[in-house]
Amino acid sequence: MDEQKKKQYEEYVKQVTPTHSLPVQMLHAFIVGGIICALGQAILNYAGSMGMDKETAGSVCSLVLVLLSVILTGFGIYPVITKWGGAGALVPITGFANSVAAPAIEFKKEGQVFGIGCKIFTIAGPVILYGIFTSWLLGLVYWCVKMLGAA
């Protein structure tokens, strides 16, 4: 009897476990990432055609992409895009903006301080923390090497 239940459970797990195809996932990521990059390039070209220098046009492009990501997150569209596109939607700057906006929207009902204030960086916080720490550490190594006259 126990062996039969075990087999039934294994069959159930097999039925409910989603199957993924790596080539299909890679294709989806390529398509979504490509669309985001093409959109970014279009914004960059448009900003450049408006007479902006490259640095200003790049800043405008980043701001517009972040704004679009936050708006799409607010309307529940960006999570659908990330589910389909995977890393193609999560890796660019739009994914980072989504990782900040999504917890803020999710925990809004808990209030400004204990909801949004405490939870807004639950996903993006480690990225920010380790990014800053790594840049500080590499700066320290560079400074030490420069003090020794090797650089």
| 6: pLDDT strictly greater than 80 | yes
pLDDT of 68: 93
pLDDT at 151: 62
Query: For residue 150, what pLDDT is reported?
Result: 74
Residue-wise pLDDT tens digits, 30-57 = 999 999 999 999 999 999 999 999 999 9
Distance of alpha carbon 57 from alpha carbon 46, whole angstroms: 8
Cα gap 79→89, rounded to integer Å: 9
pLDDT value for 108: 63
Whole-number pLDDT of residue 5: 84
Band (pLDDT 50/70/90 cuts) for residue 20 is confident
Report whether 101 contacts 69 (CB < 8 A): yes
Burial class (CB in 10 A: 0-12, 13-18, 19+), 112: exposed
* Cα end-to-end span (Å), the chain: 73
Residues 54/67, Cβ–Cβ less than 8 Å = no
* C-alpha count within 13 angstroms, C-beta hemisphere, residue 92: 26
Residue reference for tokens 């980072």:
96
How do residues 86-135 score in pLDDT, each as one tens digit?
888 887 788 878 777 777 776 666 666 666 666 666 766 777 778 888 99
Determine the pLDDT at residue 77. Answer: 93
Instruction: Dump pLDDT digits (tens) for 57-91.
Output: 999 999 999 999 989 988 989 989 999 998 888 87
pTM for the complete prediction? Answer: 0.66
Separation CA 142–CA 136 (nearest Å): 10
